[in-house]
Chains A and B, each alone.
Chain A
Amino acid sequence: MRRTILFAACCLFASVASAQLPGLRRRAPTPPVPVLVGIDALRADFIAQTGTDKVYFGGDSSVLTPQAKATLGAQAQWLRRHPEVVVRVEGHTDPSDTRDHALAVGARRAAEVRDYLVLMGVPVAQLSTLSWGKERVAVMGSSPDALALNRRAVIVLVR
């Protein structure tokens, strides 16, 4: 449901923008990929095509789960189709980690994701990494569920 809405929104945006700027219209390599009209549309398409811009990790771990690898596989496919898009992989920990260890673990998570994307054929020049440690809490609270939702790496489309 959410996917459809996002996709519809991005296509609407795409058609409006292309109507205004016909000269900038580019031919898409494969049918479902919308016209490139800016980073917001790309972000929406990335989510629509791959399901999510995040992967999650176990406590104190930077090991990629089978689920994370499946997500990253889809994201890698999308990124290979969009070699002009530059992404930043941002690593996060849950707030129960200590400040400096959190920075290191966030960096390790981001590096694991980047390395897997490279393994899946994404050119390394398309990728950069950043650790936020525990500085950008996504979900408040100290319940196990809240903590788990904070142990994440986010693929941020930069341009």
Chain B
Amino acid sequence: MIARFSPLLALGLALLGAPAPAQETAAVIAIPPLTTPEEKSTGAGSPAAVAWQASQLIASDLRTTAELVPVGPNQKDYYSFPEVTAPTFSRWRTQGAKFVLTGFVRSRPDGRLTVGCYVYDVTSGRELGRTGFVVAPDEWRRAAHKCSGLAYTAATGAPGIFDTRIAYVAESGPANARVKRIAVMDGDGNNQSFVTAGETTVLTPRLAPKAGTVAFVSFAGGQPHVQVADLGSGQQRALVPDAAMSFAPRFSPDGQRILFSMQTGANTDVYVASASGGGVERLTTSPGVDTDASFSPDGKQIVFESDRSGTQQLYVMNADGTGQRRMSFGGGWYAAPVWSPDGTSIAFARRMPGAGSRVGVIKADGTGEKLLTNGPFDEGPSWAASSRELIFQRAGPDGRPALYRITLAGGEARRVATPQDGSDPDWSGALD
């Protein structure tokens, strides 16, 4: 969607030097205003205006993280264009900043904008990374999100979570007759759009890794079934036409396949199909309910939930369905497992008798289980691209759901604003 810099400008995506180790406490990052070499116009869409808006958006992005505390932008910290790659570090040092992000916006003869960003370690004066993009004037937000991601990666070593999309179910109407629509928004809540019109009940949208496609469950036509919608063209089709009830879709890490559950008689098993349709393969055969399957990021393993033991528990199997083994052994019910993008952990919802439902994580080897939220109506976790944070659904006492974020490091869950009630969130990986 947005073009990277030409090599001519000598900017690339590669990080220079090793990323700093993860911060136990939040580090201060100075965000002086992005600069521009041009002075002629400050009107809307001009490089100067975009530079100021982008600086504010970068600070706003980083403020949503647990790892970084942005300072700025302040007009008095304005750098000239040549100073972008040679910022003064002493003034940031005295202000307690650990990092500084500089950058620029300049117009191109073709009407597009070039946006460049640099992140420096204030203590050593070393450049930690740089990135740059050529974007249409109305796509400057994505470039700013990429700059935020650069800073986040420099500070944590984890992928940026800002140039991403979130799919969810937008809900309205009375509790016994909810109108549900599949909605998609940018990772910062901007750019809301609806995929379905609300004429039929829809559930569990799941984005393809680059968020070009969304799979979800629709009750259109009578039976719940997995639909696949192209977000560009808006075209929709059933994943498995004329099948029995199918649900719980989730894309493979390469986006080529979709895991889902299908019900035959009283039995529900995990299946996989080509994302473009066809190639349906059955992976489990136990007489219980096997559902909510999720690939490991290398595509070699699958975590899923099964009530074959009598209550819902988490199981892991090889991608071809062999080697099924139980990985959770706690009391209550474990559900909705999702493998983290970095492969180390699995997020889940756990219900306990009389204690409601909470969201937690467990290491991929089955050790180190940890509940992150307090419940009592939390479910449906989905990972941020950083693997350091989850988005999930929390219902209030009145049953109305909303979206929340929580970091693995702990702390309070924070509400993610949506125009209507929100449920079943799914957070994409970083976009290209």
Contacts and interface: CB of A to CB of B under 8 A. Distances in A.
A148 interface: no
Interface in A122-159: 130-131, 133, 135-138, 140, 142
A100 B247 contact: yes
B346 interface: no
A104 interface: yes
A101 B395 CA distance: 17
B266 A60 contact: no
A99 interface: yes
Given A98-B335, A99-B203, A99-B379, A104 B399 contact: no
Given A101-B289, A104-B291, A111 B261 contact: no
A101 B261 CA distance: 10
Interface residue SS majority, chain B: strand
Nearest to B291: A100
B176 interface: yes
B247 A103 contact: yes
A107 B245 CA distance: 8
Contacts of B222: 130
A99 B359 CA distance: 14
Given A99-B424, A100-B204, A131-B224, A107 B335 contact: no
A118 B274 CA distance: 36
Interface in B355-407: 356-357, 376-377, 379-380, 395, 397, 399
Interface in B242-282: 245, 247-248, 261, 263, 265-266, 268
B196 to A, nearest CB: 15
Given A135-B203, A136-B176, A138-B176, A100 B336 contact: yes
Contacts of B395: 95
Interface stretch (B41-49, B305-313, B408-416): B305-313
Interface in B189-232: 201, 203-204, 217, 219, 222-224
B289 A137 contact: no
A99 B268 contact: no
B8 interface: no
A105 interface: yes
Contact of B289 (A95, A99, A108, A112): A108
Interface residues of A, number: 25
B351 A104 contact: no
Nearest to A111: B266
A127 to B, nearest CB: 13
Contacts of B204: 99-100
A136 B175 CA distance: 8
B292 interface: yes
A40 to B, nearest CB: 20
Nearest to B349: A98
A100 B292 contact: yes
A65 interface: no
A135 B80 CA distance: 58
A98 B245 contact: no
B305 to A, nearest CB: 7
A101 B265 contact: no
A103 B335 contact: no
Nearest to A138: B176
A140 B175 contact: yes
A11 to B, nearest CB: 30
B176 A103 contact: no
Given A104-B289, A135-B203, A60 B175 contact: no
Interface of B: 175-176, 178, 201, 203-204, 217, 219, 222-224, 245, 247-248, 261, 263, 265-266, 268, 289, 291-292, 305, 307, 311-312, 333, 335-336, 349, 351, 356-357, 376-377, 379-380, 395, 397, 399, 424
Given A99-B424, A103-B247, A104-B289, 17 more contacts: A96-B357, A98-B292, A98-B312, A98-B333, A98-B349, A98-B380, A100-B292, A101-B289, A103-B203, A104-B261, A107-B245, A107-B268, A112-B266, A130-B223, A131-B245, A135-B201, A140-B176
Closest 10 A/B residue pairs (Cβ): A98-B335, A104-B289, A111-B266, A104-B268, A100-B248, A108-B266, A107-B263, A100-B291, A100-B292, A103-B247
20 contacts: A60-B333, A95-B399, A98-B312, A98-B349, A98-B380, A99-B204, A99-B380, A100-B248, A100-B291, A100-B292, A101-B307, A101-B312, A103-B247, A104-B268, A105-B289, A107-B263, A111-B266, A112-B266, A131-B245, A137-B399
Interface of A: 60, 62, 95-96, 98-101, 103-105, 107-108, 111-112, 115, 130-131, 133, 135-138, 140, 142
